[in-house]
Amino acid sequence: DFLLNQRQVFQSNITSMIGLGGDIRGVLAIHCPAVVAKNITSGFLGMEVTQLDDDVKDAIGEIANMVAGNLKVAYGKISLNIELAIPTSIVGESINVNVCGASKAERIIVPLKMAGEIFWIELMYMPN
């Protein structure tokens, strides 16, 4: 089940974000616990990954890029132009993402499960 316009605290060790511009402004973020991020990266690289290193940041950033790219295509079909920034990945124990104007933004959070662990895709946006 996805969540609309609710404040959510993520148990995340890595977050990759892509800024959105054009006809909307906001951010698309992927929030992952360490185990999920390492599993995704291991699948991409075809080898076991044991640390939250630059390869993990790149892999989760690429997931964010793929999701944002599909979002751009979907919005394009309804004549909305979306511009995408370069992904930024942050690793840490207690990550709090605050976007300017977040209290007025639409917010969609989709929890996903991989290997028994949950990670989240978050879209926070406002019309421009």
According to the model, what pLDDT value does residue 7 have?
63
According to the model, what pLDDT value does residue 4 have?
59
Angle, CA 26 vertex, CA 23 and CA 32 arms, to 5°: 140
According to the model, what pLDDT value does residue 12 have?
82
Q: CA 85 from chain center: how many Å? A: 13
Chain segment 57-79, per-residue pLDDT in tens = 999 999 999 999 999 999 999 99
3-class DSSP state of 25: strand
According to the model, what pLDDT value does residue 2 have?
58
Chain segment 13-27, per-residue pLDDT in tens = 999 999 999 999 999
Chain segment 81-126, per-residue pLDDT in tens = 999 999 999 998 766 666 656 677 888 889 999 888 999 999 999 8
Instruction: Please give the average per-residue pLDDT across 28-36, as a whole number.
Output: 94
- The answer to whether the beta carbons of residues 37 and 51 sit under 8 Å apart is no
According to the model, what pLDDT value does residue 92 have?
85
According to the model, what pLDDT value does residue 36 have?
95
Distance CA 57, CA 67 (A): 16
Conformational region of residue 104, where left means phi above 0, alpha means psi within -120 to 50, and beta covers everything else: alpha
